[in-house]
Amino acid sequence: MADADPSASDRSDPQPHRSLADRVLPAERGVVPADPGQGGGAATPSFALPDGAGSGMPAQPAPLAIGPRTFAWGTRTFVMGILNVTPDSFSGDGLLAAGDEPVAAALELARRMRDEGADLLDVGGASTRPGHASVDVADEIARVVPVIRALRETLPEMPLSVDTTQPAVAAAALDAGAHLVNDVWGVADHDGVARVAAERSAPLVLMHNRAEASYTSLMAEIVADLQRALERAVRAGVPWEHLIVDPGFGFGKTPAHNLALLRGLPLLRALGRPVLLGTSRKSTLGKVLNLPPQERVEATVATTVLGIAAGVDLVRVHDVRENVRAARMADAVVRGWRPDGWEGER
């Protein structure tokens, strides 16, 4: 048997020992020297914040004006009603499915949601369910713009959101009267939607999503992806105070992932932004209970309460009345919210 060529590894790796080179570490800055003479804690060195740096400790987000209302985060949970101007919504509530005049149907549903306690309404013109068919941008605009314009005229006191992934749709919706952009692909590298929001001074929801449900560490990756999305949006010109995050329940995640996401919701508080949770009628709820979309109200309410206990600030739902009632009860326990005229001490 021939002897191995001792130079073979050298030929495949022109620098065989480069991994053993000395590391050059960054120079430390902001070190507070030790002062043994003072004793106590001053006896050992430490770090101080650089000039102009924030504390790095997430605080309660400041109140945010969304259209005609100001949302004081932490005082109670806010409820977003869903208006799907589509023929193929997974939950069967698409306003184009029954062939009705969509603007009139949207106004009727919006009035009911307002009366049931919705704090804002989210209008979408393209299905985002798993396996959905793509919608041409012009068609999506044609669906959402007339509805948003009519809602703005009829319910001027109601904040309006547009649910889209397309910059042109976001721009057209904001021009028609929407106040907030809800980007269900907020973690994508493309910053077009964020730039539209920045140009029009509109708040922006950044939702987590993936093309396939592949993770090494689910919650760590969700938080990291959202942190990068926040930084990208800020670079695009969106003020930090205008940003909201959504962990993307049901988007690029298996049912097991979604249940783990619900358990891990408190970790999102590390991002320092208000959290939106959208579980309403989704397939994970149906798989747990073996129920169709229209029979998932109680399951949605359960996840709303769990979300509030974990610190979420908004819930996006189809069934407003039931979720508003559940949210108020949970808020009374978790956040100390009390109704007007409260007489609990007598």
User: Which two three-digit tokens encode residue 80?
Assistant: 């977003």
How far is residue 294 from each of residues 105, 113, 251, 278, 345, measured CA to CA in Å? 18, 17, 20, 16, 40
Q: Which domains does the chain have, with CATH numbers?
A: 77-333 (3.20.20.20)
Mean pLDDT per segment of 10 residues, for the chain of length 346 residues? 54 67 92 92 93 88 98 98 79 55 92 98 85 83 96 98 97 98 96 98 98 97 98 98 98 98 98 98 97 96 98 98 98 96 85
The H-assigned helical ranges of 191-342 are: 192-199, 218-235, 255-263, 283-289, 297-309, 320-334
How far is residue 163 from each of residues 46, 147, 176, 183, measured CA to CA in Å? 47, 13, 14, 6
**SS3 (DSSP) at 42:** helix
pLDDT at 176: 98
How many Cα atoms sit within 13 Å of 244 on the Cβ side?
A: 30
pLDDT at 58: 87
Cα dihedral 165, 61, 66, 297, rounded to 10, equals 70
- Active site positions, annotated: 282, 316
